[in-house]
Structure 1
């Protein structure tokens, strides 16, 4: 069955139905990622009353050729077609020069951005730090004492931001009985098997334990760290995460459409991966990062926080961490990746093919959203990094 046949008919045929049991499986994922509010409970991330203008001057990029990591010659057009891509937007020096949508996608279609949500949380942290609402160097327990018996009792907010918590947790998306599966049951994303209680996120977070090693030394990518970060924000601000995000970042950014955040059974958002937004609003976010936090002359995110993301991140922690074999020499800071040490570029990455690429050397922002069948597909990711390099080289 093709993705375009999913959820067709009144009612759809049983094999074409999308439910909470299959919404992230191919081919249901294509409908699930663009109709998340119809699958899971969500909270609204309010748009701006005055959207930031988006000037457009289309340029032909689809025929642009480049060499894929496997040595094969390809093009942007072929890569779009062969990697389950749903949309690709390219902004150069503040002007939208390329806007492509796959079947069923439009400029107003919301799309789940998975772990690009983490980069949004990391960026939001700079606003809260500048206002004195959080202290990145403070212990997590200062904000969330309920975590006293968990791994998070001994770590700082900065450890959460930089994925440097010494936690016993394997981010294995394919293990049906592993840590990620239990985490997803608690978040409401997956239906637990008979006899397994789903629980809820806050209760689940209190059960997580450490390795006994010191925090802050090794990059270890674990999504629950970002859920704890969101809990810290909620305590510091006295409001739920979706309202914090709306009021402090998403509205000042000048977004055009409402976003959404998935919720668990107790109303806690899936801060690490549950945001859905349009590609246009995502590229607005990336453009703000390129402009050092400034939108139409307004400082939305402190410039020093973005400088810190660009310039810092512990290279030794990365070298000793999870992903060094795939991206040697990279860094990670406040939920953003610096994948290529030779380029002045930041990347936000989500499973199933989500990318926001901010290249400061060429003044380019690229938003690419997808519904790849595999959660992690490193060859496809590396092909797209080659594509991003080809685009930025062409524009420069």
Structure 2
């Protein structure tokens, strides 16, 4: 199919129409991931009135080489064009040194970032904790009493939500045609409604989830619903909507240049786990803030102790017992951020279909990349780009 024809006519022909049934399928996703607002209800995340200024120092990085999927040499230029990348921004020492866009994405266009949204939520938790609004060690039911009787009742704490260590019965299989992920997506409005089933919504669905018999804190078990519950906790702690919390505590203080937005369900519940759409430059600002120990726009936006905790803590044993060791064999997870390798310093926010914020404090490099990869999880592409990120950072550091 010619992706240029998708949604190009008014109205589009049936075969070129993006719908809830096909919007996450390639090539429809090239259009959908930058036009989520035309498919789903959303809530606005207001930008700063005084955006942090960007500094540009262009570098030629097209020829930076690394190993491709087959172990052969590929360069950045070819990798971008062959991996369904929609855009990339590279910054070094706070200056944008490389910027590239495709598939009609522009510097001003928000792009769906899927689970990079989780890392933003995890970062927000540190700000709320530092402000005395959130106790990470408190039980979830302190904030949401309605969760008693679900997996999130009893001994489940906010920290278990942050670190994906809830002992929950849930199979996060993105390729499944029925079961947990489909039911979850249907509750958020991300799937076409099933006329044979009664209507549902996200918060009601979250209360139906049950334990798997594993003690909370024992095992890293990646389940998106944990982050949606976390967002609900934040709303109860602050008394305002998640979109307004995020704008007030991060997007505006960080100096975001563009409004972002987040998908919401039929009752306004935010898809905290994967529904944020943001511009690449603002994602780069966010990554740069993390590299600079929480400072952005000359302000301490995120407490430095929280970023230290993200980088140096986490439960390596729980990670080793978990379900993503194929992605990061020697990795870790803390407050929704991945440590790629515990023996190295880079850490990352990662979303399905190829969304990344890669932060390398030693080489002073931040890489924000958004994509419309056909597979939700493509380990070969992820590992190729991890080699690419390292190669870019190494070039910029002058080590080679």
TM-score normalized by the length of structure 1: 0.98
CA distance in 1, matches of 2:327, 2:203: 32
Aligned equivalent of 2:206: 205
The number of residues matched between the two structures is 396
Cα displacement (A) at 1:11: 1.4
CA–CA distance in structure 1, aligned partners of residues 49 and 286 of structure 2: 16
Cα RMSD over matched residues?
A: 0.9
Cross-structure match for 1:22: 22
Counterpart of 1:115 in structure 2 is 115
Q: Aligned partners of 2:132, 2:256: CA distance in 1, in Å?
A: 25
SS at 2:55's partner residue? coil
Which runs of 5 or more structure 1 residues have no equivalent in the other structure?
none
Aligned equivalents of 1:60 and 1:181: distance in 2?
44
Paired with 1:121 and 1:34, the residues of 2 have a C-alpha distance of 21
Q: Which residue of the partner structure matches residue 72 of structure 1?
A: 72
- Unaligned residue ranges in structure 2 (runs of 5+): none
Aligned match of 1:148: 148
2:131 and 2:33 mapped to 1: Cα distance?
Answer: 34
1:31-79 deviation digits (Å, cap 9, x = unpaired)? 1100000110000000000000010011110111112363211111111
Partner of 2:347: 346
Cα separation, 1, equivalents of 2:62 and 2:393? 14
Q: Secondary structure of 2:152's match?
A: helix
| Deviations 1:3-49, CA, capped at 9 Å, x for gaps | 22210112111111111221111111111100000110000000000
Looking at structure 1, the residues matched to 385 and 295 of structure 2 have their Cα atoms a distance apart, in angstroms, of 28
Query: Once the 2 structures are TM-superposed, how far is the Cα of residue 213 of structure 1 from its aligned partner?
Result: 2.0
Q: Contact 2:91 / 2:97 at 8 angstroms: preserved in 1?
A: yes
Deviations 1:205-248 (A, max 9, x none): 00000012210011000000000000000000001100000011
Residue 240 of structure 1 corresponds to which residue in structure 2? Answer: 241
Does the CA-based 8 Å contact 2:354-2:370 persist in structure 1? Answer: yes
Distance (whole Å) between structure 1 residues aligned to residue 262 and residue 10 of structure 2: 28
Query: Does the CA contact (< 8 Å) of 1:343 and 1:361 recur in 2?
Result: no
Match of 1:258 in 2: 259
Does the CA contact (< 8 Å) of 2:55 and 2:94 recur in 1? yes
The answer to which of 322-331 and 212-221 deviates more is 322-331
Is residue 82 of structure 2 the alignment partner of residue 93 of structure 1? no
Is the aligned partner of 1:60 residue 2:55?
A: no
- 1:314 to 2:310 alignment: no
* C-alpha contact 1:69 1:386 (8 A) present in aligned 2: no
Following the alignment from structure 1 to structure 2, what is the Cα–Cα distance between the partners of residues 198 and 121? 27
CA contact (8 A) 1:108 1:278 kept: yes
1:374-393 equivalent positions in 2, closer than 5 A: 374-393=375-394
Distance (whole Å) between structure 2 residues aligned to residue 319 and residue 2 of structure 1: 43
2:148 is the alignment partner of 1:172: no
Q: Distance in 2 between matches of 1:199 and 1:20?
A: 16
Aligned partner of residue 197 in structure 2, secondary structure: coil
Is residue 131 from structure 1 mapped to residue 131 from structure 2 by the alignment?
A: yes
